[in-house]
Amino acid sequence: MRKFEQFRSIVAASATAAFLALPLPLDAQGTRESPLSSARASQFADSVLRLMTLEEKLGQLNQLPGGGQQISANDRQALRAGRVGSFLNVFGADFTRELQRIAVTETRLKIPLLFAHDVIHGFRTIFPVPLAEAASFDSARAEFSARQSAIEATAHGLMWTFAPMVDIARDPRWGRIVEGAGEDPYLGTVMSAARVRGFQGGDNAVGLGAPDAMLATVKHFAAYGAAEGGRDYNTVELSERTLWETYMPPYEAAIRAGVATVMASFNEIGGTPSHASDWLLGDVLRKRWGFNGLVVSDWGAISELVPHHVADGLGEAGILGLRAGVDFDMSDHVYVDSMAVAANAGRVPVALIDSAVKHVLRVKYLLGLFTDPYKFSDAGREKLYTLAPGHLGAARVAAREGIVLLKNSNKTLPLRRDLRSIALIGPLANDSASSMGSWAADGHASEASTVLAGIRAALGSSTRIISARGAPVDTVDTTGFAQARSAASEADAVVLVIGERADMSGEASSRASIELPGAQRDLALAVIRAARASPGGDTKPVVVVLMNGRPLTIPELAASAPAILETWFLGTEHGLAVADVLFGDYNPGGKLPVTFPRATGQIPIYYNHRNTGRPADSANHYTSKYLDLPWTPLFPFGYGLSYTTFAYSNLRLSSSTIRTGDSVTVSVEVRNTGDRTGDEVVQLYTRDNVASVEEPIKELKGARRVTLQPGETRTVTFKLDPDAFALYDRDMRRVIEPGTFTIFAGTNSDDVTSVPLQVTGDTLVLAPSTPRMR
């Protein structure tokens, strides 16, 4: 008997054996209906559940961490005893096959395992960090990166990623801003849905079951990005209005796109930690949004209900987690160790455990693991897809698209190729680990290109590269300044690669000040001065290449550096993509997905704020501003330049008056007025001029990246659906109110043209009040 058929024979005795291991019904394969709602998957899960002991059920809710190609001896024993439902952080076709073999041949019920990993921006081929990918404003590109990442990761035995992270972040001190799409709910929503489709192989979960599609996880639910003071894991203090207007949309978009799993967040909101919130995981997620998939805890977060002071021990923490609706216990052992006692004592209904187990069994069924538990562990595919040329090519395109040109006075960029020498200065110029970014899965730093490697590849041997580190990244040491200054004086051009190392953003990597760390600002200013003072210095190109996982405050550089490129962390192809832009093989067209403040003290600063009763006015002292700083940002949301220029004209609507509930089409003409082909991200914003509640001064409602030839004019058209005009009223109903709106189009959130739109008719209710927070 084939190994897996043993499973069939055990369960064949049950009355529901007919449902075993059948392929997904047609309705779930070929139509828009989500397999997550499949009745067949439910019946199958029920049939297995009937055979399970309480211990086996709790085993299915237990997710244990491994490390690459190993797990501990204890965990191996736990696996054999049926006490493990999933491993995270193990991968490799052979290793996952070995563990799967134990699960499906040596455990009593032979239920296959799920293998999960944080495939955040690539698995082995590393794509740009999500913040950089958001800067492309190209959701099709983000979807493609996720698709390619899934193809590579699944070939290594993985079938579940803890991505996309869609937490809106208005505070760049928070290190995890690098993992999301920035500050804007619209951009966050579009990127969220795109990444879910990419990982899961299509919309609405219909791709799940294919050997190259993986379960996506939308995280961290909810509002993890609103940590007070930008300090990771910190308390979140939010109004219900801001929660629903700003933070909820990207999570909801993932659910609408069919995301199979949701991860609860470490934080509390209004006194209730997410892992204990049946309001969040029940009323909102399951009831309001109709989510049918699986909820996983964050790492150790069930036991953290104890330090949150809502549980007086692990037993109570587990009960709270189950009651709230957390199905899977990541790395905590709380369910597997403590919930049998609680259930036997009647402190937690077995029905709750059953419901969690059903969610787990359903996704295992949907992936087709009961038919072929080894489908993801395929050494042939692993070899074929690891760092496949197509993946590297896609990573390079994505990397180029994420680069944002912040400044380019006197056409400093692109650089000429016939330079005799380039001074390459800065601690990050040859730091391949930083090229990779903050969450590089199985990426190998040795496979990532640095700016040094990129420039070498672009120029060959006729240009001399004079390298000088200048200063370390984050300690104040100026002993390398002299060498850096002399390199800058000597060379024909200067490229300064400065910013943050990759480990200075990401989890638990918040910074109290978002200035350039260490002595790098002074290094840059010294180098710029030295270049200027050298022979031919007034025309010597000096380019600052920033690498960082968050906005940095760089007012002095913005004033004195001739050219600045924001390159974030672009992954395996970082250096090659930067060189493409430095020498003009690619014309940068990315835009900032987050506001760049002038100083840390301006935080929070974001474009879609409310007006206040006293909006800033330099002529009036008693208005909302600072004594010691302008109120405006250094670079606004949506900002980014190009080697060419664009002009906007003829913004118009299909109708200047619509009724509540109607759509309207907006068109604007964009012309490439320069002499190079280039990309422009055409942005569409709206404002509700007078409403029953105070609305943001501007909200992004559309963005389209277009490529225009020199002299070409394109009419870019957006359809604004009714929801584009909706708001949460005072009763938190989603409504469209009649009134005047302003429609803006332009090149960034600050530089726009506008037309008015009149909305007539009665107030229209699109959705009832949000469930009251409790």
d(CA 78, CA 377): 22
Q: Which helix (H) or strand (E) holds 680?
A: strand 678-688
State in angstroms the smallest separation of the CB of 249 from ligand BGC: 20
The residue sitting closest to ligand BGC, measured at its beta carbon, is 162
Q: Which of 138, 167, 298, 332 is catalytic?
A: 298
Name, in order, each residue with C-beta under 8 angstroms of 473's C-beta and a sequence gap of 6 or more: 427, 428, 499, 500, 501, 504, 517, 518, 520
State in angstroms the smallest separation of the CB of 127 from ligand BGC: 17
Cα-based angle 678, 679, 682 (whole degrees, multiple of 5)? 135
d(CA 72, CA 81): 14
Neighbours of 599 (CB within 10 A): 17
**Residue placing its CB nearer to ligand BGC in the complex, 11 or 281:** 281
Name, in order, each residue with C-beta under 8 angstroms of 541's C-beta and a sequence gap of 6 or more: 412, 413, 415, 493, 494, 562, 563
Contact (Cβ atoms closer than 8 angstroms) between residue 599 and residue 555: yes
Amino acid residing at 80: R
Name, in order, each residue with C-beta under 8 angstroms of 446's C-beta and a sequence gap of 6 or more: 432
State in angstroms the smallest separation of the CB of 263 from ligand BGC: 6
Residues binding ligand BGC (CB under 6 A):
118, 162, 219, 298-299, 507
**Residue placing its CB nearer to ligand BGC in the complex, 299 or 631:** 299
- Mapped onto helix, strand or coil, the DSSP state of residue 267 is coil
State in angstroms the smallest separation of the CB of 306 from ligand BGC: 17
Name, in order, each residue with C-beta under 8 angstroms of 376's C-beta and a sequence gap of 6 or more: 96, 115, 154, 155, 157, 158, 159, 211
Q: What does the longest C-alpha to C-alpha distance in the chain come to?
A: 89
Cα–chain center distance at 536: 44
Among residues 47, 89, 37, 43, which one has the least CA distance to residue 68? 89
**Residue placing its CB nearer to ligand BGC in the complex, 505 or 520:** 505
- Mapped onto helix, strand or coil, the DSSP state of residue 483 is helix
State in angstroms the smallest separation of the CB of 228 from ligand BGC: 17
Which pair of tokens denotes residue 46? 């029920």
State in angstroms the smallest separation of the CB of 162 from ligand BGC: 3
Contact (Cβ atoms closer than 8 angstroms) between residue 422 and residue 466: yes
Name, in order, each residue with C-beta under 8 angstroms of 144's C-beta and a sequence gap of 6 or more: 198, 394, 398
Neighbours of 270 (CB within 10 A): 15
Q: Is the dihedral of CA 97, 103, 109, 113 positive or negative?
A: negative
Neighbours of 715 (CB within 10 A): 10
729 among known catalytic residues: no
State in angstroms the smallest separation of the CB of 217 from ligand BGC: 7
β-bridge mates for residue 666, sequence order: 653, 718
21: left (phi over 0), alpha (psi -120 to 50) or beta: left
State in angstroms the smallest separation of the CB of 262 from ligand BGC: 12
State in angstroms the smallest separation of the CB of 290 from ligand BGC: 24
Where do we find the tokens 């977060």?
301
d(CA 336, CA 329): 8
State in angstroms the smallest separation of the CB of 572 from ligand BGC: 21
Which pair of tokens denotes residue 183? 């500050």
d(CA 366, CA 41): 7
Contact (Cβ atoms closer than 8 angstroms) between residue 733 and residue 711: no
State in angstroms the smallest separation of the CB of 752 from ligand BGC: 36
DSSP per-residue codes, 284-342: IIIIIS---SEEE--TTTTGGGTTTTS-SSHHHHHHHHHHHT--BEES--HHHHHHHHH
Residues noted as catalytic: 298
